[in-house]
Structure 1
């Protein structure tokens, strides 16, 4: 009797379950946002949500670029940087599933040129020189770096010291990539038969996270020596603070070592005393070949054809323009791949050669006098 009762109860339960399954329908979804392709802005929230049209419930799943980010009925997405994002929603129950894909395009934020925009530098974000004879003097301190802001006919001059020393600056607007040269950077090179160039490499960056700070990816403007077999990519050098008037020693990631030597014209520590680390400094970048030599009894440092600042470059017609010009179309990423940039927001210049020179003339150290957006006439 008990066995018959158990069989009867199982049969009733199976019948109830079968009826429920047969009556259940696949998700009938009401999406709060109906489209598939949309454009948004950095740091602007998009509220995605899904509901039911017929009262029948189902499970929710939201994926951002293939990764599950929510199993609730909604998902709030706030893009932190520019880019293209894929958001996929899936509703499911035992009777079936429903999927919908959104493609969200978030362009790089652009600060437009306005009637009061200036073509000259308005902000120096950072300055950290390599060791050098002018470092810790007026041409090589934090206050001196601020003097390259403004009209280049009235600006000061800042020294970047040995290889890797840099300055980062920007304008009051995004610099637009127009046809031809986009940027002019001023230094103090010498031309003629006794040239004195101190080539600086130029890098650019976009404010892809929209925070107004130069903390996004950098791209090198590849000059004439970028593919020179003597140019070393991914070069690293580490300087040690002598903590006094003494030669500054260095080692690099190529197994080499050496010194930047002091001279009697500048009797002080050549290591930047305002650097965050007062023990060691490491700089990374592209190392250009040395162009140090002599013309008769006169020491010279020759310019490269194009693509570097503080360089009396023939292709720039430096004798006439008095600046080096740069095209944003030269931009490459860390792997050497060409990058298409419509605009840029930040510029970094660093000393591209590791040349100690001599105790008469000092080291090769790029100098920057100012810069100009060539898109503003």
Structure 2
């Protein structure tokens, strides 16, 4: 009996010793800290981001950094130089079998801002792109030919014809336009006031140079005007014009199943299809379509095209007091993305204006087509 008790006591000691050894051999929970403790890190464009992970109790751990949900590295240090402005989602994870530590950080990279210098001007300094839709002044020297955009640089004395729906011009300034309280941008056109009103509303879009390359190849945002949420406004509207390769009406069709034509009139007896377009068979434009406002005055004799309250170029608007200012005014705060969500932009670098109505008008007055004569920075 005593031998059996002795044997059981010895077995208990062995088990306790093994268990104690296992407890002593176990790795402690890692103590990990990052050199950045905030949830949002503001980064100047062009700067590198360096974040270090430190293991305080010097145990072995595995590190992982994910950038925008993709594995970036497995090192202790995160080193990255963002190539464009915007928000980046960064997730650090580190640990071992005994415990883990995670941290979510938003890297907020501001868009580069080109400052105003002693040599800066308030008016357009460069036209990046010009592609009018077919129209009565297209291909006419100084109004709608490939050299016509030069006229709107540096002042407001010229006139640039954008043609029928979708025709556009893209321009910029020699500095970034800052988003300040109130209106930020002025665009000049040639609308006529009531009662014989003649507006040809153009939609305005803006963009930031988020990749810092000086070119308008970043995302565009529409400046939402008074008609943006109207039931009569069509989003993601596409129209295609077909070159008749002659002095003839230019046929079109759209993504709503409609067809029509930009009609030749006797006052402009030439081809209305832009001879300098890269595609000489057809051209397509996509954007926001505004309702048509072309019609006769109450007297039944004079045709008019009425404008909208605010937010459009070449528009005799009451909302931004065209009668007083002699230009249309725009606020960067009205920018929306492709889904209609408001976007906060601290500055802009590029502007696009395109004809927003699709109306052939008549053979006396021609199609509805936006014209602009220049633009300026209102905060200059």
TM-score for both structures, normalised by structure 2: 0.85
Which of 57, 60, 65 is residue 63 of structure 2 equivalent to? 60
CA distance in 1, matches of 2:116, 2:151: 23
Residue 364 in structure 1 maps to residue 368 in structure 2: yes
Q: How does 1:115-126 map to 2 (within 5 A)?
A: 115-126=118-129
Give the corresponding residue for 1:274.
276
Give the corresponding residue for 1:179.
181
Give the superposition deviation at 1:49.
4.7
Which of 157, 162, 171 is residue 169 of structure 1 equivalent to? 171
The SS at the match of 2:278 is: coil
**Residue deviations 1:312-370 (CA, integer Å, cap 9, x gap):** 22333323322111222322222223333332221111101111112222111100100
Q: CA RMSD in A?
A: 2.7
**Residue deviations 1:42-61 (CA, integer Å, cap 9, x gap):** 34332445466676543221
**Residue deviations 1:41-96 (CA, integer Å, cap 9, x gap):** 33433244546667654322111234322224444322233233332322333443
Which of 137, 140, 145 is residue 137 of structure 1 equivalent to? 140
**Residue deviations 1:12-37 (CA, integer Å, cap 9, x gap):** xxx8xx76981544446576x45445
Q: How does 1:45-124 map to 2 (within 5 A)?
A: 45-50=48-53, 56-124=59-127
Give the superposition deviation at 1:250.
0.6
CA distance in 2, matches of 1:210, 1:251: 38
**Relative to 1, partners in 2 of residues 1:283 and 1:51: Cα closer, same or farther, differing over 3 Å?**
same
Q: Which moved more, 1:37-46 or 1:265-274?
A: 37-46
Which stretches in structure 1 are left out of the alignment for 5+ residues?
A: 1-14
Give the corresponding residue for 2:259.
257
Give the corresponding residue for 1:7.
none
Residue 353 in structure 1 maps to residue 352 in structure 2: no
The SS at the match of 2:66 is: strand
Residue 202 in structure 1 maps to residue 241 in structure 2: no
CA distance in 2, matches of 1:68, 1:340: 29
Residue 375 in structure 1 maps to residue 379 in structure 2: yes
Q: How does 1:220-239 map to 2 (within 5 A)?
A: 220-239=222-241
Give the superposition deviation at 1:114.
3.1
CA distance in 1, matches of 2:353, 2:328: 12
**Relative to 1, partners in 2 of residues 1:51 and 1:20: Cα closer, same or farther, differing over 3 Å?**
farther
Give the corresponding residue for 1:318.
322
CA distance in 2, matches of 1:34, 1:288: 49
Question: Any conservation in 1 of the 2:226–2:309 contact (CA below 8 Å)?
Answer: yes
Which of 240, 243, 253 is residue 241 of structure 1 equivalent to? 243
The SS at the match of 2:214 is: coil
Give the corresponding residue for 2:25.
22
CA distance in 2, matches of 1:309, 1:44: 38
Question: Any conservation in 1 of the 2:242–2:250 contact (CA below 8 Å)?
Answer: yes
**Relative to 1, partners in 2 of residues 1:94 and 1:324: Cα closer, same or farther, differing over 3 Å?**
closer
Question: Any conservation in 2 of the 1:48–1:77 contact (CA below 8 Å)?
Answer: no
Q: Which moved more, 1:57-66 or 1:275-284?
A: 57-66
CA distance in 1, matches of 2:22, 2:222: 67
The SS at the match of 1:244 is: coil
CA distance in 1, matches of 2:60, 2:176: 49
Question: Any conservation in 2 of the 1:21–1:95 contact (CA below 8 Å)?
Answer: no
**Relative to 1, partners in 2 of residues 1:40 and 1:298: Cα closer, same or farther, differing over 3 Å?**
same
Question: Any conservation in 1 of the 2:36–2:51 contact (CA below 8 Å)?
Answer: no
CA distance in 2, matches of 1:257, 1:119: 42
Give the corresponding residue for 1:148.
152
The number of residues matched between the two structures is 361
